[in-house]
DNA sequence: CCTTATTATGCTCTAGTTGAGTATAATAAG
DNA sequence: CTTATTATACTCAACTAGAGCATAATAAGG
């Protein structure tokens, strides 16, 4: 390290050929439906410039989202920052740094977003919904295509490596499905040329891609990052409650968790876990519209946040 | 959302009044000593501008660190991006976005860094080292000061809240010490005005702060973020091995984990965990210089990375 | 009224994991 | 040959997680 400050001065022009964008993965789960806020007919995530008036990145995003959706954003978390070249053709000389955030909110009829803005996120990742067992698309389309991709490799160890990675990601050959590996799965499909974004990047014309709506830029990758992060997070932080109404039944809570995690959970064990962790307390009221035996209504015990380092909903 | 693109165009000048810096938390653990790379006599983390020639943020940082330290960086992970106002007085009109990274490397005598660059990170956070039990500074200095700070609050529930947060963070009043809450502890001390950075920010003169070396800017906060992230990460990803020599004894591995986590671990259980996870394999050789019975030497089984979603060293 | 479907809720059983400890082996130093 | 130090094998109790059984309370359809 010659210059221990690590700083080398450039011309102001060069240093300033940079602009910053904020990108939001805004999630809600009305009636156990996992949805994400999109723009342009579901082909992009909402994004906007980071402006000088914003106090900080997070507060900029928060204001901006609350202004546009009319809903308070409960939980907000930074996802990832990237600055690859060739992003945006209207900035030939400069460079855009994109800072993405994950936010949770309650989507209600009173919201101010145009219809169609909220999309079920499994439109973009049909292979991620295992609530009713592994989707057929995996066995019928994805696995065969990935095997083929592995076979195409010249070297034997590349073949083996591809196959191992594919099996680990998609849970075949005796592997278990790990719902958190959302990003790894998307990136594997991208690498194998099986998503439209990869075809687009390669400039190819013929595309035998896997089902699942594409997005512009790398927005689908960002969404995958957000879903993966959320699936990890709900296990050790009580963030699901940001998606719930003030009072809810345990089944509604379970449905929300299942919507995010994309897997079904054991009902009795779920209740045991939630109750023994003191995450909720009874409101004293009952819900009549369950279809069966009426359920107790619960509310989130906000006090736990101050208490011990509270766990989530494993 | 009126403008569904989310983009509002500003003048080019306004959009470009931004520059980006990369900040590195570069960690090593020679002989079970947790060290971090610093500059300016330990008062800052190394940082450098993000330049247009860099292919991406991560590759920019990687090149830059390997060039300056002479060591390959194994694991690298983005930490956090922030852009608060009033950072750097030489950029009156513009704004700096700082993107921080956590990197792991092996520090060896052959490195190219000037002496004194690598600092034991407990110089900055003396309250974080619980390897030989809770340090006295917590009981003698921190807890009394925090109690006093809680008492100073006007309202009763603010007092209670402060006390609860302090107890949860520092593990008093029957609470357990949670080694991962590095950032929360630093931020609590900051809020209570007990670290030099807080005194500096408030422009106060008299400072009855807690021991622990301060850093410039918010570098100490970034370091706290990095340590916290690392302490979380070693539990579910085998990242410690990035800090180890190619072959090592299980005690050396344990010492590295303890250095990072800041707590002592049960030797027999540690071995059981490592071995039953197939994280390592015997080299067939023995280490003579253990001081007692010779120990088997092990190496990391790189194959596990392709295998299942491998766990770390709980 | 009675049957069936549906949801809620309480309880048990087993396997696995975790935290802590005991016991013994192999070396060096004095 | 004793002591200190480290390595390594094994045990035990407490707790956790996954799965299933049993029963309760409601609505809808005959």
Q: Domains of chain A: which residue ranges?
A: 12-123, 126-212, 234-305
Three-state DSSP state, B96? strand
Q: How far is CA A20 from the centre of its chain?
A: 21
H or E segment and range at residue A188 = helix A182-191
Beta-carbon contacts of residue B95 (< 8 Å; ≥ 6 apart): A52, B17, B18, B19, B83, B85, B87
Write out which nucleotides of chain C lie closer than 7 A to a protein Cβ.
Answer: 5-12, 18-23, 25-28
Least confident residue range of A45-54, A147-156, A244-253, B294-303: A45-54
Q: Please tell me which residue, A179 or B175, carries the higher pLDDT value.
A: A179
**DSSP per-residue letters across A210-265:** PSS---STTHHHHHHHHHHHHHHHHHHS--GGGGS-SSB-HHHHHHHHHHHH-B--
Contact B188, B146 (CB under 8 A): yes
Q: Alpha helices, DSSP H only, in chain B? A: 12-15, 57-69, 136-137, 143-151, 156-170, 182-191, 196-202, 219-233, 250-261, 267-276
| Closest Cα in chain B to A77 | B80
Residue A100 backbone zone (phi > 0: left; psi -120 to 50: alpha; other: beta): beta
How is residue B44 annotated by DSSP?
B
- Give the length of chain A: 314
Distance (Å) from CA A253 to C1' D28? 26
Q: In chain A, helix, strand, coil percent, each to 5?
A: 40, 20, 45
Contact A26, A37 (CB under 8 A): yes
- Give the length of chain B: 314
Give the whole-angstrom CA distance, residue B18 versus residue B37.
27
Write out which nucleotides of chain D lie closer than 7 A to a protein Cβ.
Answer: 4-11, 17-22, 24-27
Burial class (CB in 10 A: 0-12, 13-18, 19+), B144: exposed
State in words which class domain A12-123 has: alpha beta
The answer to whether A81 contacts B84, with C-beta atoms less than 8 Å apart, is no
Per-residue pLDDT at B59: 87
**Token output for B68:** 């300056």
**Token output for B151:** 């008492």
Per-residue pLDDT at B111: 74
- Nearest CB among A57, A113, A165 relative to B306 is that of A165
Distance (Å) from CA A294 to C1' C17? 37
Q: Among B159, B163, B18, B90, which residue's Cα sits nearest to residue A21?
A: B18
Give the whole-angstrom CA distance, residue A146 versus residue A149.
5
Task: Quickly tell me which residue has 């050929």 as its tokens.
Answer: A17
- Nearest CB among A49, A164, A309 relative to B7 is that of A49
Does the pLDDT value for residue A14 go beyond 70? no
**Token output for B24:** 């590195």
Per-residue pLDDT at B309: 62
**DSSP per-residue letters across B231-272:** HHHTTTS--GGGGS-SSB-HHHHHHHHHHHH-B---HHHHHH
Task: Quickly tell me which residue has 């210089």 as its tokens.
Answer: B289
The nearest CA of chain A is from the CA of B69 a distance in Å of: 6
Contact A246, A297 (CB under 8 A): no
For residue B224, the tally of other CB atoms under 10 A from its CB is: 25
Least confident residue range of A106-110, A249-253, B40-44: A106-110
For residue B10, the tally of other CB atoms under 10 A from its CB is: 14
Per-residue pLDDT at A5: 40
Distance (Å) from CA A291 to C1' D26? 7
**DSSP per-residue letters across B242-253:** GGS-SSB-HHHH
**Token output for B181:** 């809450």
For residues A219-237, average pLDDT: 96
Least confident residue range of A10-19, A113-122, B101-110, B240-249: A10-19
Burial class (CB in 10 A: 0-12, 13-18, 19+), A116: exposed
Q: CATH classification of B237-305, choosing from 3.30.70.1560, 1.10.10.10, 3.40.309.10, 1.20.120.1810?
A: 1.10.10.10
How is residue B210 annotated by DSSP?
P
Per-residue pLDDT at B96: 87
Among B26, B46, B52, the residue to mutate for chain A (most A Cβ within 10 A): B52
* The domains spanning B12-123 and B237-305 adopt the same CATH topology: no
Output the tens digit of pLDDT for each of chain B's 314 residues.
Answer: 334 344 444 444 444 567 889 999 999 999 999 999 999 999 999 998 887 777 788 888 888 888 888 888 889 999 999 986 654 444 445 688 999 999 999 987 777 888 889 999 999 999 999 999 999 999 999 999 999 999 999 999 999 999 999 999 999 988 899 999 999 999 999 999 999 999 998 887 777 899 999 999 999 999 999 999 999 999 989 999 999 999 999 999 999 999 999 999 999 999 999 999 999 999 999 987 777 889 999 999 988 876 666 677 77
Instruction: Please state, rounded to an integer, the average pLDDT across all residues of chain A.
Output: 87
**Token output for B31:** 């002989």
Per-residue pLDDT at B308: 62
Q: Among A52, A244, A139, which residue's Cα sits nearest to residue B92?
A: A52
Q: For residue B17, which residues of chain A lie inside 8 Å, CB to CB?
A: 16, 52
CB proximity B19 to A under 8 Å: yes
Give the whole-angstrom CA distance, residue A218 versus residue A246.
35
Q: CATH classification of A234-305, choosing from 3.90.1280.10, 3.10.450.50, 3.20.20.70, 1.10.10.10?
A: 1.10.10.10
Residue A110 backbone zone (phi > 0: left; psi -120 to 50: alpha; other: beta): alpha
């Amino acid at each position: 390290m010659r210059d221990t400050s690590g700083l080398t001065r450039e011309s102001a022009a060069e240093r300033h050929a940079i602009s910053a964008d904020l990108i939001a993965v805004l999630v809600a789960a009305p009636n156990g439906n996992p949805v994400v806020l999109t723009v342009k007919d579901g082909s992009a995530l909402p994004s906007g410039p980071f402006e000088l008036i914003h106090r900080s990145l997070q507060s900029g995003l928060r204001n901006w989202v609350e202004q546009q959706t009319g809903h308070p954003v409960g939980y907000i978390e930074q996802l990832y920052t990237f600055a690859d070249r060739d992003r945006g053709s209207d900035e030939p000389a400069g460079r855009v740094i994109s800072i993405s955030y994950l936010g949770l909110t309650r989507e209600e009829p009173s919201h101010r977003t145009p219809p169609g803005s909220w999309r079920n996120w499994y439109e973009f990742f049909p292979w991620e919904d295992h609530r009713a067992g592994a989707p057929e698309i995996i066995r019928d389309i994805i696995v065969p295509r990935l095997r083929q991709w592995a076979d195409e490799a010249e070297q034997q160890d590349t073949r083996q490596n591809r196959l191992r990675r594919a099996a680990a990601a998609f849970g075949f050959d005796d592997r278990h499905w790990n719902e958190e590996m959302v990003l790894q799965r998307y990136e594997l499909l991208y690498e194998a040329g099986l998503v439209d974004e990869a075809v687009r990047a390669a400039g190819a014309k013929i595309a035998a891609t896997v089902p699942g709506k594409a997005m512009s830029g790398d927005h689908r990758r960002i969404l995958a990052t957000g879903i993966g992060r959320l699936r990890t997070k709900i296990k050790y932080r009580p963030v699901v409650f940001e998606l719930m109404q003030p009072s809810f039944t345990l089944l509604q809570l379970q449905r929300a968790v299942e919507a995010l995690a994309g897997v079904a959970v054991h009902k009795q064990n779920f209740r045991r876990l939630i109750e023994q962790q003191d995450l909720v307390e009874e409101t004293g009221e009952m819900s009549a519209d369950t279809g069966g035996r009426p359920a107790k209504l619960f509310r989130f015990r906000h006090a736990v946040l101050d208490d011990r380092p509270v766990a989530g909903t494993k």
